[in-house]
Amino acid sequence: MSEKVMVTGVTGYIGQHCGAELLRQGYQVVGTVRSMEKANTVREGISKVAPIENLTFVEADLMSDEGWSEAMAGCKYVLHVASPFIIANPEDENEMISPAVDGTLRVLSAAKTAGVQRVVVTSSLIAIIAGKLSGHYGTDSWSDPDADIGTYAKSKTLAEQAAWEFAKANDIDLVVINPGGVMGPTLTGKVEGESLTMISDIITGKYPLVPDISVGFIDVRDVAKLHVAAMTADGAVGKRFIASSDEPLHFKEVTGILKNAGYKKASTRQAPKFLLKIMSLFDDQVKGLLPMVGERQTVANQETYQILGWDPTPMKQSLIETAESIS
């Protein structure tokens, strides 16, 4: 019998691709959903790219203890992908921080009880570089949750720190993946989440100007492959892996690729910083982007290549296929 893997947040953009990659590689997949009403949508999406006879679902909520230990019974590995992702700062930061931190600890605690062999947690590059000046950063770098880095960055940083502390105290084999900006086709065809919304807004002309922001990107299918590789790779336990391009891509390059691919409404005109500051007074999403304006960070991702065997999908291909999947 094939090994069983739990994927939390299997309804999400990354979670669906993780489920699909596991199924392609012959694993049994147990996906957590907050409501079984979402199961059919996920099943239909994954069926486009992977066999689904070994895909099952369980109801489990990051904010409740109920059901987690039972759902993990028999699972050898857990991919903890579920976490809120919103650039705009919510009125109450705990709306985002509590599910991220408490949910991560809840999953790790259940994994310990169930005797899971290894847990792979999805963090973010933002837990490494948020609020940092231009420069070169590696896995020893941490964002400062006490600085003004935005609620999303704070939630990812605190959740990852809590995961490492819990894993160390409870002797859990933990691996963390820190993706940059995630692109690539959606399996549902729906515009859901910040990445897909951004591409949709670009190709429909919602952004007449683009910010002076450079982001390290990665294809969602590569993120999934790295999660699966991290489950079994020798030398992976106890490490963070930066899943992001060697060099960041400027937003003008992103919109330029899409414009040249036939999405003529994509703008390559850059917004001056003073205008973004004014807009941030009225737009929480712009406010969330402000700390990134004008900065350009490169990353040390060598171990992602060496230990997890990363073979990056070209970002031009990824961006075009993202647009095609939602247009």
DSSP state of 319: H
State the DSSP H helix or E strand holding residue 33, giving kind and residue range, or none if neither: strand 28-33
- Annotated catalytic residue, options 156, 225, 252, 287: 156
Contact yes or no for 174/230 (Cβ under 8 A): no
* CA pair distance 4, 65, nearest whole angstrom: 21
Active site residue 76: no
CA-to-CA dists, residue 135 to 11, 130, 247, angstroms: 35, 12, 11
CA-to-CA dists, residue 22 to 27, 67, 144, 224, 247, angstroms: 5, 23, 34, 8, 29
Structure tokens given for 304: 């992602």
Contacts of 106 (CB under 8 A, 6+ apart): 62, 65, 68
- Tokens 């515009």 belong to 191
User: For the chain, how big is the Rg over CA atoms in Å?
Assistant: 19
Parallel, antiparallel or unpaired: strands 174-179 and 77-80 = unpaired
* CA pair distance 216, 178, nearest whole angstrom: 11
* CA pair distance 52, 281, nearest whole angstrom: 47
- Tokens 């990354």 belong to 14
Cite the active site residues.
Answer: 156
